Structure 1
């Protein structure tokens, strides 16, 4: 009886920690929605937990992949070194990692490159383009936020699942203990 109780108690304690061990991105350079105005030599993604060697990073502009000279994984961060400076335009960083728990996690970061121009007329055009890009980025961020909200809904549903499992295990333990008491 004690072994059964201890085994069930052990399982009860382990279930929530097993299911909630996903690694999330904590910061990036460039950050989402950022307008880069200087030469960018590397892309740095920092995560909350350690990442495995199966992790990848891709940078695209207008659907065309930009080559990286190398990708370094250092504990909780992934660094993609660019083989050449980025031209003006909108870029998407698509990343995929295998977290500590082995689950694949993906995401994307939208940013744009806009090198400063010297002529005033060009600066006015750049300002207009930046405003247009910011509006587009805001629309994309809203879409991304909506998909993130869906992911948070998934997290809350997994929390509800965990709570239900705990309640069921408690009922099981209570029922088994009642059964053994009646037999004695």
Structure 2
């Protein structure tokens, strides 16, 4: 742990089980775009664990300085410095040519219209055949999967009513509108899921 940089204990806890699944999901991929890289702990761990691919981190301007510093210190050959990417800014330069996209713990933070924008912009980011992996908590049939998720959702909404745990059916529908079909719905620790979509 680098104490002078922002640190997420949740990232530290979940990075190993996520990597185990991504090593399968991204086995044939070469260029991955991570949306919302945050502290960069995932980016460093996943790039180190999958040296066959280029891991492109990205985030909003607010998080970029610390994210850039963590990646610079990691000095991994397949982990370039992060991109500035704000899903809400349609005028921003489009990042193209990725055969995989990964995002963790972002959909419940983004207001729903921004979640919709993210999925709509996948066509800008991705190649014709691409893999999409989304990690985080989800509801099923409008119901929470655990009391801890219910409490987490209430905590999110107390910060911002636009935040909240999303229903998996709505997310699958958005992915489908961009040509991605759900291939795997993996159960993860701490009542989270990893959703693997493929477009072909």
TM-score by length of 1: 0.28
TM-score by length of 2: 0.26
Say which structure is richer in strand.
1
Say which structure is richer in helix.
1
